[in-house]
Structure 1
């Protein structure tokens, strides 16, 4: 199917503005140089990332720098879903210009979905954090968005495990100490066949649980291969509100 015809399939993605690409590509070399002046960033198993075609990066979420690190150091430029609260003022304009996609986590957001679908149907890479908000990074909470986008597009999902982007005891907004090492581990690809319209809630939930199980295996392998552990939970008073739309081993809460 041609790209133009693909955009006409439901959900239609021909009428939504595509996320910008210029800064997403052009700023990465400079940004890598700047970050490496403060941190050692180790990119592990980049060979797991398909060189071409659509791809969904699904990452755990432990620290405030996870998003920038994924956008800057992933083998391919990433249009990452970013909470809409950050799209304010100069920062918001910069985030959009650098290719990031605003997401309203607490309401149905068809524009964000269609912007992601448009990127995937155009052969680009998107990034999503199934846990929703920052936390322990153990995938205890797992939202349905990554699996849904995989069912729509048929794009492969590449798990990303972040280790070291928040230190034990750190808050959701804290940065690692200068000189710290951050590991970004790309896991084995997870595939699911594209499902025709309409996609049912049961289909999406089943795919989400399968993807979560796969990512838990990749998390264990990342910890073993790097010899590193997750930072643990955030302080009890540091809780970012998160919509109750995740799936667990027992299904939807």
Structure 2
């Protein structure tokens, strides 16, 4: 039996295999138009992105724009893991056609396996490990990035995205054109499985290491750019901390 969306009984979008790399060839140019035509995006730290080999881009999550803005700012093509509920209508067609990977945030090992296939062939995956839009301070991240890094050997590049939501703007805000955005890529982090400890302990330690690095990178990016994170009076999402 197929899983269904809780808000209307629609089947969740599923993907039979990892999306081919060629599907990303037009998503990055579209992202660059978004970054530099629709908005004014300053990009820093591209030199930190490995020129080849598998890479996981782990970014904070403020708004709907974070994924596309990151895609346009990066020097590598990437497949972004996106909440399955976004794969509806025209937007859903665009996401599928550009090679993004749908995920059920309540728990979806299949999405992680597909992302690992992308990494195993030397590709790049983008993930927003906070799991839902919020203040973007990475105070909590889920274990998906750690699982992917431990099982693929991919480098983890922390990404600070600032300006896609500011002040007390609601979580579903789409900023007006020409707003100044910032994307800062940090130094890559290597995650290795520790010998003599259980898989669960290795996962927990890797998740903590990634969370601390991402949170510290975001703090440094705030200081460097002068752009603060938004306020957020909403209660934590029920999805926070779940896979991926």
Task: Please say whether Structure 1 and Structure 2 have the same fold, judged by a TM-score greater than 0.5.
Answer: yes
State the 1:103 CA deviation: 0.6
Q: Quickly say closer, same or farther: Cα 1:45–1:74, change in 2 above 3 A.
A: same
**Where in structure 1 are there 5+ consecutive unaligned residues?**
1-15, 247-253
Deviations 1:157-211 (A, max 9, x none): 0000011011211111112232211000001111112579x97222101110011
Conserved? CA contact 1:154–1:194, under 8 Å: no
**Other structure's SS at 2:181 match:** strand
Match of 1:48 in 2: 48
Match of 1:236 in 2: 234
Conserved? CA contact 1:81–1:127, under 8 Å: yes
Match of 1:151 in 2: 150
Match of 1:17 in 2: 17
CA distance in 1, matches of 2:241, 2:122: 31
Conserved? CA contact 1:153–1:194, under 8 Å: no
Conserved? CA contact 1:161–1:186, under 8 Å: yes
CA distance in 2, matches of 1:209, 1:129: 15
Please list, as runs of the form range in 1=range in 2, the aligned pairs for 1:42-191 lying within 5 A after superposition: 42-107=42-107, 109-191=108-190
TM-score by length of 1: 0.83
Q: Quickly say closer, same or farther: Cα 1:224–1:244, change in 2 above 3 A.
A: closer
**Other structure's SS at 1:36 match:** helix
State the 1:120 CA deviation: 0.3
Q: Quickly say closer, same or farther: Cα 1:163–1:95, change in 2 above 3 A.
A: same
**Other structure's SS at 1:230 match:** coil
Conserved? CA contact 1:20–1:96, under 8 Å: no
Conserved? CA contact 2:70–2:161, under 8 Å: no
Deviations 1:67-124 (A, max 9, x none): 11112221111111100111123322321110100011113x2321111010000000
**Other structure's SS at 1:76 match:** coil
State the 1:34 CA deviation: 4.8
CA distance in 2, matches of 1:82, 1:194: 27
State the 1:130 CA deviation: 1.2
Q: Which runs of 4+ in 1 moved over 4 A?
A: none
Match of 1:29 in 2: 29
CA distance in 2, matches of 1:164, 1:26: 24
Conserved? CA contact 2:166–2:228, under 8 Å: no
Conserved? CA contact 2:34–2:72, under 8 Å: no
